[in-house]
Amino acid sequence: MGPEPDAAEFEQRVREFGRTVFQVAYSVLGNTADAEDVTQDAFLRAYRKYSSLRDPAKFGAWVARMSWRLAVNRHRSWRRAARRDWAWLASPNAMENPELDAAGREFELRLRNEIARLPEKLQAVLLLSGIEGLDAHSVAAILVIPEGTVRSRLHQARRRLLKALSE
């Protein structure tokens, strides 16, 4: 293991990528408290393992990938605890966004439930692609898959989701 990053440099990276890393976690978990915990955990891991990052230019995708994995693991533990329905129902920003009307909340719950029924590979590209500023190239870097795979999975996910929402 090499040296840890310079404190000022790391602080700059936290401020630069914190929002995206948080939104990656939020897209999976659907609530601010858990997304905050995961974001902090992801950055702490990034700090400890900084020396293993070969290309500093890929820091954003690297820490976003950590956030994604941590969030997915946390969500899986919810499912193992048979609390998935509670989590999906209680957590989305339907509960946190007072601007959503009743119809909007109902649609959001339905949307989350239909996404949860998709295979995980499709869920990943669908959720990450919904994050502002993440294009197919960025999503591919986070998931470590080819960009073309991101595009094909995204298309497949949107098609299946639209059919499910239209039934």
Partner 1 sequence: MNGCPEFQDRLVEQALGGEPAPDVAAHLAACHGCARAFEGLRERAAQMEAGLRALAAAEPPARLANRILAAIPRPGLPARLDWRIAIPALGLAAALIISAFNGAFNGAPRRQADVPREAAALAAWRSPTEFLLRSTIEPLLNDTPRLGRAAVTPGGDTNVH
Residues that bind partner 1 (CB under 8 A): 7, 10-11, 14-15, 18-19, 22-24, 26-27, 30, 32, 35-36, 39-40, 43-44, 47, 92-93, 96-97, 107-108, 111-112, 126-127, 129-132, 155, 158-159, 161-163, 165-167
Yes or no: say if 154 and 126 are a contact pair by the CB < 8 Å rule.
yes
Handedness of CA 78, 79, 82, 88 (dihedral sign): positive
Q: How far is the CB of 66 from partner 1 (least distance, A)?
A: 13
| Residue (64 or 82) nearer to partner 1, CB | 64
Q: How far is the CB of 100 from partner 1 (least distance, A)?
A: 8
| Residue (44 or 90) nearer to partner 1, CB | 44
Task: Compute CA 160 distance to the chain's CA centroid, rounded to the nearest angstrom.
Answer: 20
Q: How far is the CB of 21 from partner 1 (least distance, A)?
A: 9
| Residue (145 or 164) nearer to partner 1, CB | 164
Q: How far is the CB of 93 from partner 1 (least distance, A)?
A: 6
| Residue (21 or 82) nearer to partner 1, CB | 21
Reported for 156-161, long-range contacts at CB under 8 A and 24+ positions apart, including other chains, are 156/122, 157/118, 157/122, 157/123, 157/125, 157/126, 158/126, 160/118, 160/122, 161/111, 161/114, 161/115, 161/118, 161/126
Yes or no: say if 75 and 88 are a contact pair by the CB < 8 Å rule.
no
| Residue (140 or 154) nearer to partner 1, CB | 154
User: What b/e readout covers 77-103, taking b as 16+ CB neighbours within 10 angstroms?
Assistant: ebeeeeeeeebbeebbebeeeeebeee
Q: How far is the CB of 107 from partner 1 (least distance, A)?
A: 6
